[in-house]
Amino acid sequence: MKTPLITNQIELSLVAHEGFVNGDVAYLQERNVPIMAWSPLGGGSLMTGSGAVQDAMQKIADANGVDTGAVAVAWLLAHPANIMPVMGTNNLNRIKGLSDALKVTMDRQTWFELYTAALGNEVP
C-alpha cells in the first residue's frame, strides 16, 4: 500500500467482537491507526435481544442511570485502542442517550465482565 492508512472502520461491538482476537484491533493499535467501530450496537440486537450480555448491560445501565445503548458505547470507549464508535442514527434523542456513555463507570473489571458475557464463556 503506497498511501499510509489513516483510519480503519471495522465492525466491532459486544456481538461482533472477533476483531479483538483475529488481530484487527491489535494490528491497528500497534500502528496507532484510529479504529472506527461500525455497528457498535450490533445492528440493534443488543437492545432487542435477551441473554447474558443484555442482562449484564442492564445491570451496569441501572447502576449508572443510563440506557443499555450507552453501556454498549462505553464498553468500546473504555478499550485502550481509543475506539471511535460510529452511530447509525440521526435521531437526536437517541444520540443524546448514546452520549450518556461518557457517564458510565467502565473499569477493567466491568469491561471484562461484559466481554465474558458476550463470549458466553471465560475469556481465553
Domain count, the chain: 1
Segments forming the whole domain that contains residue 40: 8-118
Query: What H or E segment, with its residue span, contains residue 117?
Result: helix 108-119
- Beta-carbon contacts of 123 under 8 Å, excluding residues fewer than 6 positions away, are 112, 115, 116
In a domain, 70, yes or no: yes
Chain-centroid distance, C-alpha 24: 15
pLDDT band at 2 (very low <50, low <70, confident <90, very high): confident
CA distance 22 to 13: 14
In a domain, 1, yes or no: no
Please determine, for residue 115, whether its predicted confidence score (pLDDT) is greater than 80.
yes
Which grid cell sits at 81?
Answer: 485502542
Question: Which pLDDT tens digit goes with each residue over 61-107?
Answer: 999 999 999 999 999 999 999 999 999 888 899 889 999 999 999 99
In a domain, 124, yes or no: no
Chain-centroid distance, C-alpha 27: 18
Q: Please tell me the pTM assigned to this model.
A: 0.92
CATH assignment at residue 57? 3.20.20.100
In a domain, 49, yes or no: yes
